[in-house]
Amino acid sequence: MLNDQVLLITGASRGIGAASAICFAQAGAKVVAAARSRDALEDVAARIGALHGTCLPIPADVTDEASVRHLVAHALARFGRIDLLINNAGVGVCGPTERTTLDDWNVVIGTNLKGAFLCAREIIPVMVRQGGGHIINVASQAGRFGFPRLALYCASKYGLIGMSESLGRELAASNIRVSYLCPGWVDTAFLEIFQDDIVRKAIKASPHAIAREILDLATKPRIASRPTFVGKVARLLKRRLQGAATQCETYSSF
């Protein structure tokens, strides 16, 4: 399906990132998997290898400019190009804003927004030289609605959506497509930041279901559009009827 295209994905050691790395490898992509945990990355690479796929695990910190540059340089040295970038690395804190710290802000904004910026900035010249590419940013429903006790996380995801839409318009002439998706509740370790009673009541999608949404976004172009009121109602009804796997909105530009 992806004909040996090269994918670089961040936050690939677990959750949506690991599921996406495996999903894309099964679809024919050569995967560059990046995250901070070497051991967890090696496990993902082994799982892809067992499926006869190709995966290059590279430990990296997306908040560090030098680390991102090394990551991209290493990927290019191995494969010579990068066709797809999935900015998936993300963290969050949940609690009253008056109790959050500047360190909390730096970690959340640094990973979720600065990290996506650094990776995109480093890869855009590569995609321009090779005549095109596709950047996919994993945002959140928290980037479309300001949930209480999630001010930092919401700020990072609202920012990621704004950056995605700006880049989509900026890079269209260079044949670089920019997309983003907004999952709802996903059954990953990220849910540990929330109270148990909230998590128990939530309708959760699996990481694999979101990975399939990302693969669909990468292989089936869609025109970006803000949902109308009627569209929002239709999507709400669809979620109620079909369940957790539909709780993800996707947007794309050409």
Residue 83 near residue 5, CB atoms below 8 Å: yes
Edge-to-edge order in the sheet of strand 54-59: 54-59, 30-35, 6-10, 84-87, 133-138, 176-183, 248-252
Q: Is 153 a catalytic residue?
A: yes
Catalytically annotated residue among 153, 158, 180, 251: 153
Q: Given its phi and psi angles, is residue 117 left (phi above 0), alpha (psi -120 to 50 degrees) or beta?
A: alpha
Can you give the C-alpha Rg of the chain in angstroms? 17
CA distances from 229 to 42, 222, 226, 234, 235 (A): 45, 20, 10, 9, 10
φ and ψ at residue 188, rounded to 5 degrees = -135, 175
Q: Where are the beta strands (DSSP E) in 83-226?
A: 84-87, 133-138, 176-183
Any bridge partners for residue 138, and if so which?
181
Task: Quote the CA–CA distance of 123 and 22 in Å, as a whole number.
Answer: 22
Instruction: Give the integer Cα–Cα distance in Å for 87 and 93.
Output: 19
Catalytic residue numbers? 153
